[in-house]
Structure 1
Amino acid sequence: MTLTSAAPVEVPRRRQGGFVDEMRSVAMKLHTREQARGGEKEAKGPEERSIAKWDPTIEGYLKFLVDSKLVFDTLEGIVHKAALPCYAEFRNTGLERSENLAKDLEWFKDQGHNIPEPSDPGVCYAGFLEDLSEKDPQAFICHFYNIYFAHSAGGRMIGKKVAEKILDKKQLEFYKWDGDLPLLLQNVREKLNKVSEGWTREEKNHCLEETDKSFKYSGDILRLILI
């Protein structure tokens, strides 16, 4: 899929929340009606259906966690390296997940589970993000926003439901944050708005158009839970 083949993005009116509101509006429309109020898509794959209908497995969940860790490792490495100065804005936001995921995988190992190697969905997404970060900052920021903010919302709900089904309700570190999560998110919203202030309207539209690709890559990883 290329950006030129993406459906035209309907840009909402600017509100007090700045460009992040536009990003959120586009992302919400790409949810299915079963996933979220305001979703406009029909569910196709099993991962797009209501979580209540999922039948997760430990093996699949471990694949999901391993691939997720690779993606977060990549994001946090890109931000730390900051090949482009704007990425440095997103260091040490409190939303980082890599260390928490490492603790979770160690816990599973202690329970006697074999930890798999990263699989194709995670490897492909990590490589894509590395490449994108060097040549297309607007598109990269779209992925950064959707990955972190989706995990803080729907991701937490998924973690809770999966834990109820296969982990005796254990809450993993992946779903815990140090500090007040709404405050951490608001801080990152402000940073995203600050970075995007210097973009042209064309660059903003380009960022929004990347949302579909972000959902595709993340959906491929999410689907691993049901393997």
Structure 2
Amino acid sequence: MVVTVVATTVSVEEERSKKKSTGGFVDEMRSVAMKLHGKDQSKGGEKETQGKPWPKWEPNIDGYLKFLVDSKLVYDTFDKIVDKADFPEYAEFKNTGLERTVNLLKDLEWFKEEGHSIPEPLSPGLDYSLYIEGLSKTDPHAFICHFYNTYFAHTAGGQMIGKKVAAKILNGKELEFYKWDSDLPHLLHNVREKLNRVAENWTRDEKNHCLEETEKSFKFNGDILHLILA
């Protein structure tokens, strides 16, 4: 179930991006994400689904706070990785405008002011943060796959989920997590170009290795998304 939901969030952005494609390796990452989405929606995949489809979900404040806290931990980790830049290509992704850490901090402060207790990160966020941190030091091609899928899924399907949750439990309040300071399509276009530029000098084997990491990205992000129902 979890993977199915995350695949959906990625595919929404991918469909939107078709007409604005910059070509290059980003198109390959998009294609793999869409194929994985189709696989997860197959009859066999549905048999493995233990939860309910999104329209029937019943999110709650406690679960949503867990989701936001774990999401912040993951975005914190991405920020630190690109800032440190153990591999030179990571520096391409500093200050892209897609960063979410500050926005999530504002949202958690708002919840605190509303009288809610902010939980500590749980295993989904902790596990993913540890994974991408380790990966970033030894395997830049796989790391780039996680960077792409995490940020781009949030700009489309993530917004859709945010609106559904807000309508159900926040009286329609739009959180900062779902706002960007600049024109979002322009930001996404710039990051796509950076991703293509980074991958220009990769070998075919290195590109394939990056693409093979997509399913793990879906799984980790899906575990965090599932916290909304915790």
TM-score (norm 2): 0.86
CA distance in 2, matches of 1:57, 1:32: 29
Match of 1:7 in 2: none
Partner of 2:155, secondary structure, is: helix
Q: Which residue of 2 aligns with 1:10?
A: none
C-alpha distance in 1, partners of 2:106/2:125?
A: 19
Counterpart AA for 2:33? A
Structure 1: runs of 5+ lacking an equivalent: 1-14
Stretches of structure 2 that go unaligned for 5 or more consecutive residues are 1-20
Would you say 1:176 and 2:142 are equivalent positions? no
Asked if 2 retains the 8 angstrom alpha-carbon contact of 1:30 and 1:40, the reply is: no
- CA distance in structure 2 between the partners assigned to 1:206 and 1:89 by the alignment: 20
Amino acid paired to 1:214: S
Corresponding position of 1:165: 168
| Cα offset, 1:92, TM superposition | 0.4
C-alpha separation in 1, matches of 2:22 and 2:105:
37
CA distance in structure 2 between the partners assigned to 1:33 and 1:56 by the alignment: 26
Q: Residue 21 in 1 paired to residue 27 in 2?
A: yes
1:50/1:181 Cα in 2 relative to 1: closer, same or farther (>3 Å)? farther
Greater relative contact order (Cα < 8 A, sep 6+): 2
Shift of 1:46: 5.6
Once residues 32 and 57 of structure 1 are traced to their aligned partners in structure 2, the CA distance between those partners, rounded to angstroms, is: 29
Q: How many residues align?
A: 208
1:93 aligns with 2:96: yes
Query: 1:141-170 CA deviation, whole Å, 9 max, x = no partner?
Result: 000000000000110100000001110010
In structure 2, relative to structure 1, the CA distance for the partners of 1:16 and 1:93 (3 Å cut) is: closer
Q: CA deviation at 1:54?
A: 1.2
Equivalent residues of 2:22, 2:192 under 8 A apart:
no
Structure 1 residues 104 and 16: CA distance shift in structure 2, 3 A: closer
Question: What is the CA RMSD across the aligned residues, in angstroms?
Answer: 1.7
* CA deviation vs aligned residue, 1:77-123 (integer Å, no higher than 9, x gap): 10011111000000000000000000000000000000000000100
The structure with the largest helix share of the pair is 2
| Identity between Structure 1 and Structure 2 (%) | 68
